[in-house]
A and B are shown apart, each in its own frame.
Chain A
Amino acid sequence: MENLLWVFVSAVLVNNFVLTYFLGLCPFLGVSNSLETSARLGLATTFVMLVTAVCAWILNTYVLIHAPYLRLICFIVVIASTVQFIEMLIKKLSPALFRAMGIFLPLITTNCAILGLAIFATNRGYGFWEGIVYALGAGIGFTLALVLLAGLREEAELSSIPKLIQGTAMNLIIAGILSMAFMGFAGLFSST
């Protein structure tokens, strides 16, 4: 139980996917211009991560032990089809939610955080429950980073900033400072 808790805390704070592993930077820099869309994208991504973790575990346990070199191709195909499947499912079950998520659903396929999650979980040899908890933590960590940056950017919109700095350069520097703040959480681990 304690082990699961550590996996979770580590994925959310200490080894935050965006701010320490640099995964999922494209949506992080691309869509973080409003709080609402970032929160929604974060939720959708967390959901896909959970499904991917389960699929990756099944694949690893039953299929890929016989053919490890097919790992990458299998994962990417599974992720692409999962996203497609979830898209159809949501469209059928709740059209309102489908409209709210819009273009972000298909875009999740090219989010490297999802593939990264599957690969990291495999490399560390996580079991079924650890994998799920790890996926949940990674998803929440991703959402947290996205919402934080979106909040800061919304504030920055209102203040007067030299034209030269505006845009990606400023977002990267903000992200750097956020990442520095998250480094503080690294102490959580060494204290145990």
Chain B
Amino acid sequence: MEESGSSGGAEAVINLGIGSSVPISYHPCFGPHEDLLLLEADDNLVSDIFSGRVTLRGLPDEDAVLCTKSKTYAIKFVGNSNSMFLIPPSNSPGFIQDDAHGKVSVIKLAPGNMELVEVSPKLDKLKQLLLESPFGPGEADAMMMDDDVSEKNLALYTWSDLVNIIQASDEELLKGLESLSAIEIDGYWRVIDESYLDMILRMLLNNCVLNSWSFDDLDEKEVVSSLVADEFPKQLAGHCLRVFGSEVKGTNKWKLEPRLVCLHFARQVLREEKMRVESFMEEWKKKIPEGMEEKFEMLEGEVLTERIGIETRVYTFSVRSLPSTPAERFAVLFKHRPKWEWKDLEPYLRDLQVPRLSMEGLLLKYTRRAQSRPDAEPIFSAR
């Protein structure tokens, strides 16, 4: 039998010709080498990793996750009871043998490898962190006077702080910040105090009336400079348009979204209270600017109603305040209300996105479905 060519290491095994043989030995540096890890990755991930776009994120007391630009993966160690002899190439830095010629050496016995499982980003903590110190009128005043805000010892977070704390990919984190209507002020990501945002919005609507601007055709520059004249910081003026409006495609104009504006006022009316639906509707209507129309459907996923005797009451129950992982979400929902009709439940599930699991799958896994008659509305309860 022929001895293999001159090469050694892994390449001698990979390219071993038919009829050839090669001796396999323990490497002079054979050992546990716990700093060498094996990670199983599909082709897409492999190319992400090679382009340097992948990071591991998590605090020391958490299980690390792996993040690409857009996705988050849990890392699982899969043990293998077989013996896996790991063989580096002959030119591998750190494991070079003087007489590597024709030698194939095993550097370690791999106890298993790491596998990746796509998971939802862990964004609940983000909300908590940012709500610790919302941006309010006091700071806005200081900002207008050029005072140094950072002196005040507030818990504030930059993008790189958040990346270090939150287990989510860059895109998922940015989406999370958007859904909290957060804004970067002086390098820190902040949520705006609700009543301060209310002041800005009311001033904006006021200015629309004064200047006869249409809600569908707002010029950002004009809007912002009018708000700055009313002593609101420039950044927040622009932010207010982004929170309550959308850019009209192909123009530099903005359009206020009636749903977002009406929803804001509904929350202002309700706050922590339970109100008779009739008096709520009356109060709400009073707050709606002329030219917009409030509809109860706008409040899907934000309020619930309950019947007590002949009275129907409405109260705030916002999907934004619920946990983002399915198990916790369903637990909170069923604790709040043991039985749900689909039309009430659906708005509280719409945003749940679980890799590899459809809505139907989610319902099967976490709910029990009951129908009193074949043609009746199904009722969902906890499993």
- Please determine whether chains A and B interact with each other in the same assembly: no
- Residues of chain B touching chain A, judged by Cβ–Cβ distance below 8 Å, are none
